[in-house]
């Protein structure tokens, strides 16, 4: 267990500088290293602590599609809004989804202003409580996120079942990390992505690995021929991961390494895995904002739990979503451009008036670039803001 004193040690400037020096010494002359940090939490930590400014010029960090709010396509927001428009429904959602625009920039916050009963929760179990307290209404939990939040959604299903509730449902939008990583790498073979040089490795999300263990990342590295370093969210965690990736790239090794050993075990959280496997199954394909349809990349309720499926309880046929074509969120999520390369960034798209999901979410790449001063290479090391 990490103590507060230990946590401060992971932000110690001397340790950070020592790791930056080790990375610079490991870099081979004339070689370029391009690593994608998949997780939006990593993107924000890199900006918050100014880590990219400490790296040698040969090392480039590229943000990826690891923000659960950002990768949710507009059609899923439209589906949630359609459910919330039904008078018999109470829609429950995490707060970071409230301002994400669907078609024509409609969001849950605007729908709530128009009278929809949409409630903010911090846990799906709160939605179960709301269902218990409102037996005459149908309560739908907007279940989003990666492997990290999916166990809580599964636990809510089980809690609802144990309580004998018949009015609790979920709009399931949980997605899986390794298939999206593979989709990013698969794009490199197409002419459309010539603008982005080949990635040399990926920084894996530590909170996902905490649930899954290292096995999915081991399989990913072996099948895709790229190293992956699982990292935590402190400065020394991330720099240790970069050092590992530089070393593995130099060796030509394609394997997964764990640089978040104080939290991630080889087997992961087997209790959470069992709960996931009991309640959910892997869908054949699912749509991601930016990535399109990705095979085996999302979860669906197993047939035994189909009665909790909000889309089966309230089927609706929605028109194709209307999106702002000037918004470059899809290209940003694929690492093809930086947030500042979008014509809307900081002009018509800001955190107070966002156009795209990447500017809305607390894990979004545009929100990070806006908060921490734009292009990351120019950012100095600094302590986080209180």
pLDDT digit string, tens, across residues 168-213 = 999 999 999 999 999 998 887 664 555 567 899 999 999 999 999 9
Torsion sign (Cα): 370, 383, 97, 353: negative
> Per-residue confidence at 373, pLDDT binned at 50, 70, 90?
confident
Task: Determine the pLDDT at residue 362.
Answer: 85
Q: What class, spelled out in words, does domain 31-318 have in CATH?
A: alpha beta
Contact in structure between 101 and 77 (CB atoms under 8 Å): yes
In degrees, rounded to 5, the angle at the alpha carbon of residue 366 between the alpha carbons of residues 119 and 181 is 90
Task: Determine the pLDDT at residue 361.
Answer: 87
Could you tell me which of 236, 184, 245 has the C-alpha nearest to residue 31? 245
Least trusted range by pLDDT, from 40-49, 82-91, 372-381:
372-381
Could you tell me which of 335, 276, 253, 314 has the C-alpha nearest to residue 87? 314
Average pLDDT over residues 262-269: 97
Task: Determine the pLDDT at residue 378.
Answer: 37
Could you tell me which of 36, 65, 26 has the C-alpha nearest to residue 180? 65
Other residues' Cβ atoms within 10 Å of the Cβ of residue 213: 20
pLDDT digit string, tens, across residues 285-309 = 999 999 999 999 999 999 999 999 9
Given strand 201-205, what is the order of strands in its sheet?
Answer: 59-66, 33-39, 201-205, 228-231, 256-259
Task: Determine the pLDDT at residue 104.
Answer: 81
Largest CA distance in the chain: 69
How far CA 327 is from CA of 90, 101, 322, in Å, comes to 31, 12, 12
Answer with the residue of higher pLDDT: 198 or 59: 59
Task: Determine the pLDDT at residue 195.
Answer: 59
Task: Determine the pLDDT at residue 6.
Answer: 59
Could you tell me which of 80, 99, 91 has the C-alpha nearest to residue 120? 91
Q: Answer yes or no: is pLDDT of 380 > 60.
A: no
Task: Determine the pLDDT at residue 383.
Answer: 35
User: Quick one: how far is CA 148 from the chain centroid?
Assistant: 9
Domain boundaries of the chain, sorted by first residue: 31-318, 328-372
Average pLDDT over residues 255-279: 97
Task: Determine the pLDDT at residue 9.
Answer: 82
DSSP-derived secondary structure for 294-310: EET-BEEE-GGGGGGBH
3-state secondary structure of 362: coil
Contact in structure between 171 and 141 (CB atoms under 8 Å): yes
pTM for the structure as a whole: 0.90
Task: Determine the pLDDT at residue 8.
Answer: 76
Task: Determine the pLDDT at residue 197.
Answer: 72
Task: Determine the pLDDT at residue 190.
Answer: 61
Q: Directed axis angle between helix 13-26 and helix 235-251, to 10°?
A: 10
Average pLDDT over residues 309-323: 92
Average pLDDT over residues 303-323: 94
Task: Determine the pLDDT at residue 4.
Answer: 44
Alpha helices in the chain (DSSP H): 4-9, 13-26, 40-48, 74-84, 108-113, 124-133, 150-162, 177-187, 206-212, 215-224, 235-251, 270-279, 310-313, 329-333, 357-360, 365-371
């Amino acid at each position: 267990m990490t103590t507060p004193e230990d946590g401060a040690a992971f932000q110690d400037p001397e340790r950070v500088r020592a790791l930056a020096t080790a990375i610079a010494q490991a870099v081979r002359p004339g070689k370029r290293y391009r690593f994608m940090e998949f997780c939006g939490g990593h993107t924000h930590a890199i900006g918050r602590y100014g880590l990219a400014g400490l790296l040698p010029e040969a090392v480039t960090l590229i943000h990826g599609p690891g923000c659960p709010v950002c990768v949710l396509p507009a059609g899923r927001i439209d589906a949630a809004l359609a459910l919330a428009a039904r008078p018999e429904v109470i829609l429950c959602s995490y707060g970071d989804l409230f301002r994400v625009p669907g078609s024509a920039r409609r969001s849950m916050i605007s729908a709530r202003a128009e009278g929809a009963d949409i409630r903010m929760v911090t846990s799906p179990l709160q939605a179960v409580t709301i269902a218990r307290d409102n037996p005459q209404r149908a309560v739908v939990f907007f279940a989003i996120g990666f492997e990290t939040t999916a166990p809580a959604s599964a636990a809510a299903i089980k809690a609802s079942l144990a309580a004998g509730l018949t009015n609790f449902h979920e709009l399931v939008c949980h997605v899986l990390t390794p298939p999206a990583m593979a989709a990013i790498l698969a794009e490199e073979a197409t002419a459309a992505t010539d603008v982005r040089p080949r990635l040399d490795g990926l920084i894996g999300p530590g909170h996902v690995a905490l649930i899954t263990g290292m096995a999915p990342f081991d399989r990913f590295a072996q099948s895709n021929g790229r190293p992956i370093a699982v990292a935590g969210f402190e400065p020394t965690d991330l720099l240790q991961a970069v050092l590992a990736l530089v070393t593995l790239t130099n060796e030509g090794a394609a394997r997964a390494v764990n640089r978040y050993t104080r939290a991630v075990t080889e087997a992961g959280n087997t209790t959470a895995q069992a709960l996931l496997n009991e309640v959910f199954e892997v869908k054949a394909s699912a749509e991601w904002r930016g990535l399109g349809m990705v095979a085996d990349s999302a979860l669906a309720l197993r047939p035994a739990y189909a009665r909790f499926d909000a889309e089966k309880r309230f089927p609706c046929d929605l028109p194709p979503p209307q999106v702002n074509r000037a918004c470059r969120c899809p290209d940003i999520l694929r690492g093809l451009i930086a947030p500042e390369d979008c014509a809307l960034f900081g002009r018509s798209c800001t955190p107070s008036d966002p156009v795209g999901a990447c500017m809305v979410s607390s894990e979004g790449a545009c929100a990070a670039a806006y908060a921490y001063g734009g292009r990351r290479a120019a950012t100095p090391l600094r302590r986080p803001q209180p």
